[in-house]
Structure 1
């Protein structure tokens, strides 16, 4: 039984390929409050509704979803296509969060492969991709670059149960 996709090994990706990830995720109040409190984030804007409604002349109608929650959800939405065969995260750079996210908003993600390079090991390679998270109305809420260490098919496919399969990456 295969646990990983037969076409998400390092060799399957091509620089410039775009992915429109099919799943979306609606942010719940519980997502925001749990992660905000677990990480000891004391910024009241994430958990104090009365406070948020009183600052900046009432500009905010709701608590802000913490940036770490938004980032985690967007990266998670990319994972099935981009990093299902990841061995390790290597880096996150250039993170931008240009617009706020509030509870009950649904997020979607897109990605583009921007670099493939050797890792120095025969069983893996490095891939960097640009991810973008958007609300259902298209408003951009999160962008950045993620580098992952990915399995190579020749060394991992049999152990993963992927004895067949494997093709060039294609947009989803």
Structure 2
């Protein structure tokens, strides 16, 4: 039996719902665990020992605990923002302007925020449009740890 995808998707987050300058604080936060914190660094053979050597940062200005791999932090922020920004996405078009502003350690909790940078309609009223989002993540102590832009192709209500 075919699935009616519109019945399982939220009522908000269509192309028409976004406008430049719109800001969102996303409802969920997540604590970075051991596996997602250092696993990706090992998978891509990142040789920075600060990700996987328990004693490497002892006495460092970055703190005494291992650092979370930056792209894991970016992925976490984008994931936390996805319910509000990508539920009706057709395709992820790209990431840009990634900035890692402060260290993230295992056990830190991250929350996500978004601002809509631009909204570009498709070639006609039924085609999906491109929305560029600026996402940022903040640690539980209020420090911004990550910023980045994400371009997404988003369905229209009528398509």
Q: TM > 0.5 between the two?
A: yes
Match of 1:158 in 2: none
Secondary structure of the residue aligned to 2:28 is: coil
> How many correspondences in the alignment?
152
Out of 105, 109, 112, the residue aligned to residue 109 of structure 1 is 112
How big is the alpha-carbon RMSD for the aligned residues of Structure 1 and Structure 2?
Answer: 1.4
Q: CA deviation at 1:119?
A: 3.1
Which whole-Å CA distance do the structure 1 matches of 2:39 and 2:9 have between them?
Answer: 29
Secondary structure of the residue aligned to 1:34 is: helix
Which whole-Å CA distance do the structure 2 matches of 1:79 and 1:101 have between them?
Answer: 21
Match of 1:125 in 2: 129
Out of 88, 96, 99, the residue aligned to residue 91 of structure 2 is 88
Q: CA deviation at 1:125?
A: 0.4
Q: Which has the higher contact order (CA 8 A, sep 6+)?
A: 1
Match of 2:151 in 1: 147
Within a 5 Å distance, the mapping from 1:157-172 to structure 2 comes to: none
Unaligned stretches of 5+ in structure 1?
156-172
Q: CA deviation at 1:148?
A: 0.3
Greater share of residues in helix: 1
Which whole-Å CA distance do the structure 1 matches of 2:87 and 2:122 have between them?
Answer: 18
Q: CA deviation at 1:36?
A: 1.6
